[in-house]
Amino acid sequence: MALSATIFKVSLQISDLDRNLYADYELTLARHPSETDQRMMVRLLAFALHGDERLSFTRGLCVDEEPELWQKNLRDEIELWIDVGLPDERRVRKACHRAKQVCLYLYGGRVVAPWWQRNADKLQRFANLKVVELTDEATDGLAGLVARSMQLSCTIQDDELWLDDGDRTLNIVPLVRKDWG
């Protein structure tokens, strides 16, 4: 018998001072049985950092041809492709050809540096690619916020993020390995 996804409800309030975006989102996250709390929360963090009414979660782990999140325009063209983890360089290359912008969130501790060393030269040529690294401390902190029903407030300023659940405040400073352009 196959295990089913676990559903999480999230009320997310975003105050992004860098983009002058102030919005509330009611989100439903489905965590695949093989997905960790860290990975699910990195997806949520990516949503917060790119918040937009057209940004949506995809089927993710269940479909190889889709990112974790994407934003499409009215012509169904992919404006933003967001992946998390340490994908194969071919997948990133394909995403860069399919989408106007691609953002990759790396996490995983000690395995991130060797992955970046192996792929950095190949990925530098893509002007539409941004690569961001999250520390173990950040992803462990994100996992500590997990609950089946979450009320989170997110403030973003000067590329720094504060995530608050009413009891705890988590400060995250993502490391940009490669920026767009």
Residue 1 falls within a domain, yes or no? no
Assign residue 140 the CATH number of its domain.
Answer: 3.10.640.10
Q: Which domain holds residue 174?
A: 6-178
Q: Each residue's pLDDT tens digit in the chain (181 positions)?
A: 557 889 999 999 999 999 999 999 999 999 988 899 999 999 999 999 999 999 999 986 666 789 999 999 999 999 999 999 999 999 999 999 999 999 999 999 999 999 999 999 999 999 999 999 999 999 999 999 999 999 999 999 999 999 999 999 999 999 999 999 8
Sheet containing strand 169-172, strands side by side = 21-31, 6-16, 149-157, 160-164, 169-172
109: region left, alpha or beta (phi > 0 left; psi from -120 to 50 alpha) = left
pLDDT digits (tens, 9 = 90+) for 46-93: 999 999 999 999 986 666 789 999 999 999 999 999 999 999 999 999
In 3D space, the residue among 73, 74, 21 whose CA is nearest the CA of residue 48 turns out to be 21
In 3D space, the residue among 25, 75, 78, 73 whose CA is nearest the CA of residue 49 turns out to be 25
The number of domains in the chain is: 1
- pTM of the entire predicted model: 0.96
